[in-house]
Amino acid sequence: MIGSKLRELMVAIRGGAPRALVVTLPYPLGPGAKVPEGFRGKVEIDVSKCIGCSGCANVCPSRCIIPEDTSQLWRRMTIFRERCTYCARCQEVCQENAVTLTMEFELSTDNPGDLTDTWEVFMATCSRCGRCFKPKTVLDKMMETGYKPPMEKRYGAVATLSVK
């Protein structure tokens, strides 16, 4: 055992080590190891796809995704990446494929605020089933948020004309 350690020391001192004996990578000064396929790295959220269903927050074992209802129509979602265990349960549950785990793993920072993201989602609900969804157009959004109330609320009782 001591002989093999001495041989490794001599190879390292000489500097002309064959590639098979080099056991360390020059990372971070040089290229590191290639990330294998299926690696679970930084959690990314596509805000344009997110409907605010909070499925990702419900299954997260470390509770790093926090939903908060700011009003009846808006939900604030916050992700604290410093708590993430990279289990990928949020990616598995997301119906809209808004959550993905990237190949990025270098998340070190001096400021914990760099690892926190917050986004707001408009919460429109289906009039039949009550399930939340994202409106298709801006006009649908305007109708849902109450820019134009129904006719009865604007003018009181609406008179109906009956023809006999």
pLDDT in tens, 75-124: 899 999 999 999 999 999 998 899 999 998 888 888 988 999 999 988 76
Architecture field, domain 34-147: 2-Layer Sandwich (3.30)
Read off the pLDDT of each residue in 40-67 and give the average, rounded to a whole number: 91
CA distance 110 to 93: 32
DSSP alpha helix (H) spans, the chain: 2-14, 55-59, 89-93, 138-144, 151-155
- Give 146's pLDDT tier (boundaries 50, 70, 90): very low
Closest CA to 82 of 54, 135, 26, 43: 43
What does the domain layout of the chain look like in residue ranges?
A: 1-33, 34-147
